[in-house]
Structure 1
Amino acid sequence: MYPSDDADQPDPNHLTEQHQNTSADQRPLANQIVSASSRFARVVTQVANIGISAVSMRALGYIERHGPQRISHMASYESISQPAMTSAVNRLADDGLVVREPDPADARAQLVELTDQGQRMLDEYRNQVATVLQPMLENFAAADYAVIEHAVELLETLTNDLTGNA
């Protein structure tokens, strides 16, 4: 039997690199990415059973990644109001997880900085997440595990592109 002349043609029922995506094609996937990742983040935070809110945990992570921050920057990043972020920061400060320091660039402003206790809380959260997820990930076949690793890389790329940190 001879190979088909169509052997190099993409399967129309399967997306390939050669598939020309349109905005209409991508919209459902874009919405699915946001929905699935948001739900996953919420569930993981619940399973980790840390006694602070997901917004507070994300604020700690943001400060860890970017260093001391103004509340206005943190609120903008989280797409929440400044009063809501101020409330979250107040709770974090009351719990000893962050401290406020004067902003050397503007004496009227303050920077929120992670404390050692805040770093320990973040590390504990990550350890609890790993304790829950790693056995589940180990149950995946090697190829599926590799797909998840690649998906994480792609999500990081998308996030960096959206934030201008590419």
Structure 2
Amino acid sequence: MTTSPTPETVLLSSLTRLMAQWSSTAVHAEFARIAGVDIDAGDVQPIYLLGLDGPKRVSDLAVMLRITRPTMTKQIARLEAAGFIARSDDPSDGRAVIVSLTDRGTRAFEALVEQGLVAVHAALGAWPDADRRRFADMMHRFTAGLTGPSVHPKEHRSEEIS
């Protein structure tokens, strides 16, 4: 790209780097190790989502994590066998299953969040309090403006790639 970066291209680049690092299984494995949580790194994200949002249908977790239902079902089985989550019938639909954190899962979530906060504090360490608050507000507003797992960019081509 030969043009000057725009705020949007800088943001996209930063988000891409953030997601590549923050969502990597290596980061999840390190947080879990330091937190003393005996969990497969690939199983950390459902723990985070259930801890942040509360009980969910298995199918909703699959959509949020952008994985297939069979893959989510296997992951749920591992987490249940390890004592991190419990299943219950969905009272509004007898065919669906709701999963929630157990006490062990809640303790794991809290320990993982603590490690995440250590990383956030390290990144923001030299920032003045006003900048931290402003950044947190802007990030919250930005992510609230995203439409979630069903985001589909408009299909258009600004230039032909040959």
**Same-fold call, TM cutoff 0.5:** yes
- Root mean square deviation, CA, Å: 2.9
Unaligned runs of 5+ in 1: 1-12, 16-20
Residue correspondences, number: 140
Whether 2:108 is the aligned partner of 1:124: answer no
Q: In the alignment, does 2:143 pair up with 1:159?
A: yes
> Gapped runs of 5+ residues in structure 2?
149-162
After superposition, residues 11-90 of structure 1 pair within 5 angstroms as 26-27=8-9, 29-42=11-24, 44-48=27-31, 49=33, 50-90=37-77
Q: 1:136-151, aligned counterparts within 5 Å? A: 136-137=122-123, 139-142=125-128, 146-151=130-135
Residue matched to 2:155: none
Q: Is the 8 A contact 2:29 2:40 kept in 1?
A: no
Alignment TM-score, normalising by the size of structure 1:
0.68
Larger relative contact order (CA 8 Å, sep ≥ 6): 2
The verdict on how the C-alpha distance between 1:52 and 1:154 changes in structure 2, with shifts beyond 3 A counting, is: farther
1:44 positional shift = 4.2
- The structure whose Rg is larger is 1
- Alpha-carbon offset, residue 58 of structure 1: 2.0
Report the secondary structure of 2:87's partner residue. strand
Q: TM-score, normalised by structure 2?
A: 0.69
% identity of equivalent residues: 24
Aligned to 1:3: none
8 Å contact from structure 2 (residues 85, 101) kept in 1: yes
Counterparts of 2:81 and 2:113 in 1: how far apart (Å)?
Answer: 22
